[in-house]
Amino acid sequence: MHPMVNDDGTAKASTGPDTDSAGAAGGGKARTKSRGRPRSFDRETALEKALLAFWEHGYEATSVSDLTRVMDIGAPSLYAAFGDKRSLFEEVVRMYGTRHGSFTDRALAEEPTARAAVERALCEAATAYTEPGHPHGCLVVHAATNCSTPEVEKSLRDRRNANIAAIESRIRADVAAGVLPPATDAAALARHAGAMIQGMSQQARDGASREELEAVAEIALSVWPRTGTHTG
């Protein structure tokens, strides 16, 4: 069950309706108090709506008024429950990573080789970036477009570079194990994979279909060196 939050940002009490105890004690009909309470909202649902707004429009182009409108809460409630716009965005990015953006990490952890992991990541990106029900492409890529807030831009850049570093680490491990040739340029190959994943995001935003992105992924994999140390 998602936690409910009052419109002033405090946690909603779970007790039943207040009654006028004096009226009940005197034998009269209990009266429900009508003093105004803060309007409550589902914090998780509000966060999901913010995620879709940032995903569709990017960080810079999504204003606080846009957020309060789509989240259906007042500005004081947004600041009380989530902090400022940047704090809200950071929470949105964490939610995105958990729900939509962890396919590369999973592939690197579960596949037996770097090539297999990248192949899976590219194929899953083709699906994730084009599936219905949410904006196309990757939030971590698209939200950085025209971003003039240095802290946000750096945070998103660090996330993208961390993915490339993780791919490079896996490639180097395969080179050391003899799975890939000793002359493999691990840094360049990892950056190529990162460029393909990030480029597929923009292509999806521009209307490319899953099948078209899968074809791109197949071509991208053709540059990988042959498995093993023998080239003959």
Owning domain of residue 77: 41-99
Q: What are the counts of helices (DSSP H) followed by strands (DSSP E) for the chain?
A: 11, 2
Same domain, 110 and 212: yes
pLDDT number for residue 2: 55
User: CA dihedral defined by 128, 129, 130, 135, rounded to 10 degrees?
Assistant: 110
Same domain, 70 and 127: no
Classify residue 127: in a domain, yes or no: yes
Classify residue 70: in a domain, yes or no: yes
Same domain, 92 and 139: no
Classify residue 230: in a domain, yes or no: no
Give the Cα separation of 158 and 166 in Å (integer). Answer: 12
Torsions phi, psi for 4 (to 5 deg): -95, 140
Same domain, 67 and 149: no
CATH number at residue 206: 1.10.357.10
In 3D space, the residue among 199, 51, 197 whose CA is nearest the CA of residue 133 turns out to be 51
Which tokens hold the place of 74? Answer: 């007042």
Classify residue 229: in a domain, yes or no: no
Same domain, 208 and 107: yes
Give the Cα separation of 174 and 178 in Å (integer). Answer: 6
Same domain, 113 and 215: yes
Mean pLDDT on 36-61: 86
pLDDT at 18 over 60: no
CATH number at residue 52: 1.10.10.60
Q: What is the pTM of this model?
A: 0.79
Q: Mind listing the pLDDT tens digit for each residue in 152-165?
A: 999 999 999 999 99
- Strand partners for 40: 6
The number of distinct structural domains making up the chain is 2
Same domain, 80 and 114: no
Q: Chain-wide mean pLDDT for the chain?
A: 86
